[in-house]
A and B are shown apart, each in its own frame.
Chain A
Amino acid sequence: MRYMLLIYTNENAEQTPEQRQQIIEGHGRAMEDATLRGFLRGAEPLFPTSSATTLRALNGKTILTDGPFAETKEQLAGYYLLECESLDDAIAIARQIPTACGGGDGCVEIRPIRPFSAPAGLTGVSRAGHA
């Protein structure tokens, strides 16, 4: 079973260099544990929402907008991709993510990934390219 751990934080919150260091170390430990348990399939941080570009269809045309799709208090800041037995395994890793245990704004949302059968001939990475 695969799970996406979506990390939401307040990207405008002030951080001291020590806090930043603690967060980096916290992610280091979480990733190490996820690797040791054989769960980790990926984990990456994102640039802030000021770098986002949003596309949506309007009257049959694709409109590009500068910025995130919605102004929210907390923004998507990164993700972990895990493959494990059950929700409890995913929770065990999510608990270690600094956003979930280190105080401060934000949260970690765990979403099970829906199994997707690719059309014949499309597999793996190429599937995303054709989507």
Chain B
Amino acid sequence: MPEPGPTIEQVFREESGKIMASLIRLSGSFDWAEEALQDAFISALSSWPERGMPANPTAWIMTAARNRLVDFARRDRTRANKESALTYDIELRSQGNNAPEDDAMHLPDDRLRLIFTCCHPALNQEAQVALTLRTLGGLTTPEIARAFLVPEPTMAQRLVRAKRKIEQARIPYETPPPEQLPERLASVMSVIYLIFNEGYSATTGSALIRRELCQEAIRLARMLSQLVPDEPEITGLLALMLLQDSRRDTRVDDGGNLVILEEQNRSRWDRAEIDEGTRLVEAALRRHRVGPNQLQAAIAAVHANAASSAQTDWKEIAALYAELAAISPSAVVALNHAVAYALAEGLDVGLARIDALGASDLANRGKLLDYHLYHAARADILRRLGRNIEAAAAYREALRLAANEVERAYLTRRLEEVSSALR
């Protein structure tokens, strides 16, 4: 008989969010739902190897977990009303349906409600992220703790506090009304992108768990885009993450050094992700409701589809950044725009723009000059211009401000390069 282990694991990974969402709706309790789901998987582990894999594993788990919920409700006398509601609900679902396993297949999709609850702005963002990964992503508490480099008890405490707040303050378990939807969706999207970014840009911790976070974020965005199909910004977010993820294997070399876009081995980019991301962003842009995610995805698509770094369409990228700066202005977007402008229109004019940004930041007491990438961008343009003395000074300033080890290694290498050119 084949080992059922990996398959149970697959069911858990793919389906636990959906099952969890239904269990929370049925019980009104995150804790009961979690416990019931866990018990159901434990009984699957002992039952499936003996009796064989059920025809519909998801439905089997759902049924087992639901039975556990009824047990909990019966045991918990203080929740007498809840019990009858629960029993009623379950009986209602089973009516006219002799095969209980089929019934789970027709459950309404509760995941959308659940993600809005987990990402409710009344919870702090750290809690939103942890709760989303725990309930919809099916990650265990130790896994989430490892991913965010916090001690396990801290993460467990964070989850307990969030669940307690949902219960005590009664954060609703429902999709927000239309007038609240844009704001609430923005909160959900920023949680998903935060999860992705943690996996993508973190350079410490295990590579495996980081990979998992990226995949989880993509999975969540895919789910959200299916559940809310008419929002092009969600499609834009999914496209953006796919396009960034396509480069994951080439961003760091075997020695753990950062490889910049220009020097990455493009033949190792994930073509399937690039194609899907490109198709999605094109479809989103055709709806003519442009937003920051779509524009960033479009920029990533231009990079991803350039046959070589030299063939990058910088004019297109500069135009997209200009549009992005118009709808969501920020110092960082302005910096990226100036860099693209330098590569499209000439290094000298681009450098002048970057310097102008620095000067206006100084006048406005902004934070751009404290941002290592400002100095790194300036240094790279100066290096290309052959102005090595100034480039070295800018790399030094960037190094002074950079905290990330991988980025520091890159800056150090560049600094040595321009310094040796001076000798």
Contact = CB atoms under 8 A, between A and B. Distances in A.
Contacts, number: 22
B122 A91 contact: yes
A36 B170 CA distance: 22
A112 B120 CA distance: 16
Interface size class of A (residues with CB under 8 A): under 10
B170 A86 contact: yes
B176 A87 contact: no
Interface of B: 120, 122, 168-172, 176, 180
A112 B169 contact: yes
Interface string A49-88: 0000000000000000000000000000000000001111
18 contacts: A1-B170, A85-B172, A86-B170, A86-B171, A86-B172, A87-B120, A87-B122, A87-B169, A87-B171, A88-B171, A88-B172, A88-B176, A88-B180, A91-B122, A112-B168, A112-B169, A112-B170, A114-B168
Interface of A: 1, 85-88, 91, 110, 112, 114
A39 to B, nearest CB: 13
Contacts of A87: 120, 122, 169-172
Specify which of B122, B169, B172, B180 lies most central, judged by the most chain A CB atoms within 10 Å of its CB: B169
Nearest to A110: B169
Top 3 A-B pairs ranked by shortest CB distance?
A: A86-B172, A112-B169, A87-B169
Contacts of B171: 86-88
Nearest to A91: B122
A86 B180 CA distance: 15
A9 B180 CA distance: 27
A29 to B, nearest CB: 17
A42 B120 CA distance: 27
Contacts of A91: 122
Given A87-B122, A110-B169, 4 more contacts: A1-B170, A87-B169, A88-B171, A112-B169
Contacts of B168: 112, 114
Nearest to B122: A87
A71 to B, nearest CB: 27
A6 to B, nearest CB: 14
Nearest to B180: A88
Contacts of A86: 170-172
A8 B262 CA distance: 54
Contacts of B120: 87
A86 B120 CA distance: 12
A87 B168 CA distance: 10
Contacts of A1: 170
Nearest to A84: B170
Specify which of B168, B170, B176, B180 lies most central, judged by the most chain A CB atoms within 10 Å of its CB: B170
A89 to B, nearest CB: 8
A76 to B, nearest CB: 20
Nearest to B168: A112
A85 B177 CA distance: 14
Contacts of A110: 169
Contacts of B169: 87, 110, 112
A112 B176 CA distance: 20
B81 to A, nearest CB: 14
Contacts of B176: 88
Contacts of B172: 85-88
Nearest to A112: B169
Nearest to B121: A91
Contacts of B180: 88
Nearest to A88: B172
